[in-house]
A and B are shown apart, each in its own frame.
Chain A
Amino acid sequence: MNMAAYVAVIGTKDNPVYELEMGGGTEKQDKGLGAHLNQFIVHASLDLVEQVQWTSNAFYVRSIDQFHEMYVSAYITPSNMKFMLLHQAQSSDSIKTFFQELHELYIKTIMSPFYQPNEPIKSQAFDLKVRSLARKLL
């Protein structure tokens, strides 16, 4: 069940910390704009995330935005890192599990003394793990 998805981890200053694209075949229509479109959509929904974060104290904020047929879901950590997922209307349980696992992976990354929070995550191991998570759950 691997539909197209775009995962982004956004830091406290709206800086991208990590991005991952799992493409489906049908996304190739707007070739020039393809990858950037995902980033635009996620960036635009950051405002909504900020609005929503004061209303609930849960981590997983569900689906907050919609762009044509793509939905944006968000998960906010206590230290205000935002995990955003761009997807096409999937079951929110598996997305919630995905976010929780991503959160644990993120904390493991932070534990490293060589990594400062808010820096871009360049570790290949992290990338591989997120990919396998996405393949399994999304």
Chain B
Amino acid sequence: MVKWTEEERRIVRGVWEKVDIDEIGAELWARALIVYPWIERYFGSFGDIFTTTAILNNPKLAALGKVVLSALDTAVKNIDNFKAMYASLSRQHYEKIKVDPDNFRLLAECITITIACKLRAELSPQVQATWQKFLSAVVEAMSSQYKLKKKKKKKSRPDQTWRKFSIE
């Protein structure tokens, strides 16, 4: 379990307070798709994402960015126990969407850089380090359900045959 000092909690909240979910959300996936184009494989139903202009103006990507940041808001507000809250999200990404979990790390890097462009000098080296510690915990929570399901062991029943014959 990740442990947080009061100072670290204050820093994470401080960064998050300055994030405009509409503004950053809109840019987030555009940056990820332009910098890491192979992510396109997960966006078959998002329409035109094949040129820089199309990516930057795609409303579905902007909407998805806000969804991601809303989930991040949950993590900021529940920094001590969001791993359990993220379990169903992790399972969904593993079993239904089938996302390579390395993409969580790539998106986290894009989130940091998008925020850096906005916050500039306010994202000092120490603030960056704490913010990245938080995002690493989020990435770990998103990867937590990427495991084989344990097969349920069949309960062995005792042999009842001898009892049936003894009554007679």
A and B assemble together: no
Which B residues are within 8 Å of any A CB, using their own CB? none
Which A residues are within 8 Å of any B CB, using their own CB? none
